[in-house]
Amino acid sequence: MNIIINGSLMVPIYEQIVDQIKAMIREGELKENDNLPSVRALSKELKISALTVKKAYDSLEAEGFTVTVHGKGTYVAAANKELLLEEQKKELEADLELAVLKGRRYGISDEDIRSLFELILEG
């Protein structure tokens, strides 16, 4: 599995795993019923603690992205379109927030930023 861990980020490693697996599900790289690597295999591949991978898998399951079958493994859950859409909206909101902050750093007024967003929406 192509997961990249960045130890210099302030984001905990398990959250980096969760975010990247969610992105793979949203982008269709992982589909319903796809089997995720075992906790042990992924921890070995990433050279991190198995407890960290377990925490990531537990978080994904709690949010409805995966299902764990004892003795069988962890699988991508049935695609919940509303859940995926909500995740995409959160991601877009975060990107827009960064754009607004960047505009303010450049000294652009909120009114001008609002006008830019309106222009973009009008296409």
Beta bridge partners of 76: 66
Confidence at residue 84, expressed as pLDDT on a 0 to 100 scale: 76
**pLDDT tens-digit profile of 52-68?**
999 999 999 999 999 99
**pLDDT tens-digit profile of 37-48?**
999 999 999 999
pLDDT band per the 50, 70, 90 thresholds, residue 73: very high
Task: Show me where the domains of the chain are located.
Answer: 13-76, 81-122
Taking residues 93-103, what's their average pLDDT? 93
What distance in Å separates the CA atoms of residue 8 and residue 53, rounded to the nearest whole number? 18
**pLDDT tens-digit profile of 7-28?**
999 999 999 999 999 989 988 8
Q: What is the CATH number of domain 13-76?
A: 1.10.10.10
Q: What percent of the chain has pLDDT over 70?
A: 100
What distance in Å separates the CA atoms of residue 98 and residue 96, rounded to the nearest whole number? 5
What distance in Å separates the CA atoms of residue 65 and residue 75, rounded to the nearest whole number? 9
